[in-house]
Amino acid sequence: MAKITLRSWQSTYFDAYEQLIVQPEIMQGAGLPDVDTQQRRMMFETDLYQPFQAAIVYKEQIIGSIITYARVSETGDFIPNEYDLAYFLDNRFAGHGIMTQALRSFIAALPTPTTLLAETFADNVASQRILEKLGFIKTGTYNNIIAYKKPIN
């Protein structure tokens, strides 16, 4: 298994972030819009301030990302200890267990109790396998998307 580390995203990592999110496989898999550099920088700066986030690093190269987003109720209030989970990996490193390893480490470092929610496109079998390996439970499907949930106690 590849030796990876997780590092908090820093403002100086924007170039690496941008190189990742312009990859067609990442854009499509994560449902990211095709936008210009200024808009990508705004997305990056938003991600920097999420409750829990990490760059996935292999041999000093940033190859992926894990980010949680605080969930908000219909009334606009934050839902305590509940987060949407988003992640992506440079396609050149897919299929080697790196994302499973990274997510396992990331989840182990989260405060408890926490509930994570994740969604993946129905045709993204690799992502579904990762979530299921990590104990996420399928909660439903809608519009070609499969939803998962994982309580962490």
- The CATH number given to whatever domain includes residue 109 is 3.40.630.30
Over residues 130-152, mean pLDDT: 97
Instruction: Write down the pLDDT at residue 34.
Output: 87
Give the residue with greater pLDDT, 33 vs 150: 150
* Residues 82-96 pLDDT 10s: 999 999 999 999 999
Instruction: Write down the pLDDT at residue 51.
Output: 86
The number of domains in the chain is 1
Instruction: Write down the pLDDT at residue 124.
Output: 93
The parent domain of residue 33 ranges over 2-150
Any idea of the CA torsion for 127, 54, 38, 31, to the nearest 10 degrees?
10
Do 52 and 96 contact (CB within 8 A), yes or no?
Answer: no
